[in-house]
C-alpha cells in the first residue's frame, strides 16, 4: 500500500489527491463491468478519491459504473464529470447535468467541466455553471482541453475567474503545454488535470522508460506516472479497469525520481522550445 497520497489545493481552497482515477472507455463492455466497479472501489480504499468521468464516455455508461463504485461512499469521493460542448447552452447544461446526476445516483457533482471549447458562447456556459452552483447541483466548475488563449478569454469573463481546473492531455510524450499553458496555470494557481498520463498504455512499453524503471524496481508505466505527479500543480487521472492495475498506479506514489532520472527522461522526451497547439485525443 502506498504512503499517504499527496494533495493539491484548488483555487477554492479545497484539497484533492494528486492521483485520481479516470474512467474513459469504462462502461463499454458489460463483461468488464464488475471488474471496473471493483477497480474503482479499490482506488477509493487506497486514497484515490478523485474520480473523473463524463457524459460522453460510453454514452453515460461510465457514469453508471461510477455510481455503483461510490454507492455508500459518496461523501468520501470527489466526483468530476463533464458536459459536451453541444450541450453547453444555459438550458443544455442544466439538462445534461441533471441527466448525469441521475446516472451517477447523486445529488451533486463536485467539479463539472466543459469537455472542450465549442460554438456556444463561453459566457453563457459560465452563467449556466454558476446557476448550477447556486442550485447546489455542482460545487465547482472548470474546463477541459483549453489552450492558453482560451484560458485568458475565460478568466476575463464575469465569474470566469471561478474556474478550478483545466483537464488536458499531458504526459512525457505530450509536453507541448509546458511552453506556455503550464506556467500560465501555475502563476494563477489553476491546477492542470492530466488525462492519458501513460499515453493509453503506449508509455508502458517504452524502452527508454524501462531503463529508468529498472533502477527503481518499477514498471515503465509507474515511472511515467511518477514523473507527471512530480510536476507542480498537476493532478494525474489514469484509468485502470483491473485491481492489479490500480495497485500498480498507487505504488507509483512512492517512487522518488532522482536528478539523474529526470535528466535522462528529458533527453528521451525533450521539453518544448516553442509554442505548439494544444493536443487532445
Give residue-wise pLDDT tens across range 88-118: 999 999 999 999 999 999 999 999 999 999 9
Kindly report the number of other CB atoms within 10 A of residue 180's CB atom.
17
The distance from CA 190 to its chain's CA centroid, rounded to whole angstroms, is 13
pLDDT at 171: 97
The residue with cell 469504462 is 26
Does the CA dihedral 155-159-161-166 come out positive or negative? negative
CA distances from 131 to 21, 97, 124 (A): 28, 11, 11
pLDDT at 2: 45
User: What does the alpha-carbon distance between residue 281 and residue 277 come to, in Å, rounded to a whole number?
Assistant: 13
Name which residue leads in pLDDT, 231 or 280: 231
pLDDT at 224: 97
Alpha helices in the chain (DSSP H): 33-45, 61-70, 90-104, 122-135, 148-155, 181-187, 207-216, 220-230, 243-251, 259-268
> What number is the average pLDDT over the span 47-54?
98
Using alpha carbons only, give the angle 222, 47, 223 rounded to the nearest 5 degrees. Answer: 10
Alpha helices in 6-89 (DSSP H): 33-45, 61-70
User: What does the alpha-carbon distance between residue 249 and residue 4 come to, in Å, rounded to a whole number?
Assistant: 14
pLDDT at 31: 95
User: What does the alpha-carbon distance between residue 185 and residue 258 come to, in Å, rounded to a whole number?
Assistant: 25
> What number is the average pLDDT over the span 220-231?
97
Active site residues: 57
CATH topology for 17-268 is TIM Barrel (3.20.20)
Sequence ranges of the domains in the chain:
17-268
> What number is the average pLDDT over the span 231-242?
96
Mean of per-residue pLDDT scores for the chain: 96
User: What does the alpha-carbon distance between residue 72 and residue 223 come to, in Å, rounded to a whole number?
Assistant: 33
pLDDT at 281: 84
pLDDT at 168: 98
Q: Which of 19-28, 201-210, 258-267 has the lowest mean pLDDT?
A: 201-210
Kindly report the number of other CB atoms within 10 A of residue 32's CB atom.
16
Instruction: Read off the pLDDT band of 12 (50, 70, 90).
Output: very high
CA distances from 204 to 50, 140, 208, 249, 264 (A): 23, 33, 10, 12, 17
Instruction: Read off the pLDDT band of 158 (50, 70, 90).
Output: very high
What percent of the chain shows pLDDT beyond 90?
A: 96
Q: Is the pLDDT of residue 222 over 80?
A: yes
- Reference 111, options 143, 134, 89; nearest CA is 143
- Reference 78, options 44, 101, 102, 116; nearest CA is 44
Q: Is the pLDDT of residue 4 over 80?
A: no
Amino acid at each position: 500500500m502506498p504512503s499517504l497520497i499527496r494533495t493539491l489545493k484548488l483555487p477554492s481552497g479545497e484539497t484533492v489527491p494528486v492521483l485520481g482515477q479516470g474512467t474513459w472507455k469504462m462502461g463499454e463492455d458489460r463483461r468488464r463491468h464488475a471488474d471496473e466497479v471493483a477497480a474503482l472501489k479499490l482506488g477509493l480504499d487506497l486514497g484515490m478519491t478523485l474520480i473523473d468521468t463524463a457524459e460522453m464516455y460510453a454514452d453515460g455508461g461510465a457514469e453508471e459504473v461510477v455510481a455503483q463504485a461510490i454507492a455508500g461512499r459518496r461523501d468520501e469521493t470527489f466526483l468530476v464529470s463533464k458536459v459536451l460542448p453541444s450541450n453547453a447552452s444555459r438550458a443544455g447544461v442544466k439538462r445534461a447535468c441533471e441527466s448525469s446526476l441521475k446516472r451517477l445516483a447523486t445529488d451533486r457533482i463536485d467539479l463539472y467541466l466543459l469537455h472542450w471549447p465549442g460554438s456556444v458562447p463561453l459566457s453563457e456556459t459560465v452563467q449556466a455553471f454558476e446557476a448550477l452552483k447556486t442550485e447546489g447541483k455542482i460545487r465547482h466548475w472548470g474546463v477541459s482541453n483549453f489552450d492558453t488563449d482560451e484560458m485568458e478569454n475565460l478568466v476575463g469573463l464575469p465569474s470566469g475567474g471561478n474556474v478550478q481546473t483545466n483537464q488536458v492531455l499531458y504526459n512525457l510524450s505530450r509536453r507541448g503545454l509546458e511552453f506556455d499553458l503550464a506556467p500560465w496555470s501555475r502563476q494563477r494557481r489553476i491546477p492542470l488535470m492530466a488525462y492519458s498520463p501513460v499515453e493509453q498504455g503506449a508509455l508502458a512499453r517504452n524502452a527508454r522508460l524501462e531503463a529508468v524503471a529498472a533502477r527503481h524496481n518499477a514498471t515503465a508505466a509507474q515511472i511515467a506516472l511518477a514523473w507527471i505527479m512530480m510536476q507542480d500543480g498537476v493532478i494525474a487521472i489514469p484509468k485502470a479497469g483491473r485491481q492489479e492495475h490500480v495497485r500498480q498506479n498507487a505504488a507509483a506514489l512512492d517512487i522518488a525520481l532522482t536528478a539523474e532520472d529526470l535528466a535522462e527522461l528529458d533527453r528521451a522526451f525533450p521539453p518544448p522550445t516553442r509554442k505548439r497547439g494544444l493536443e487532445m485525443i
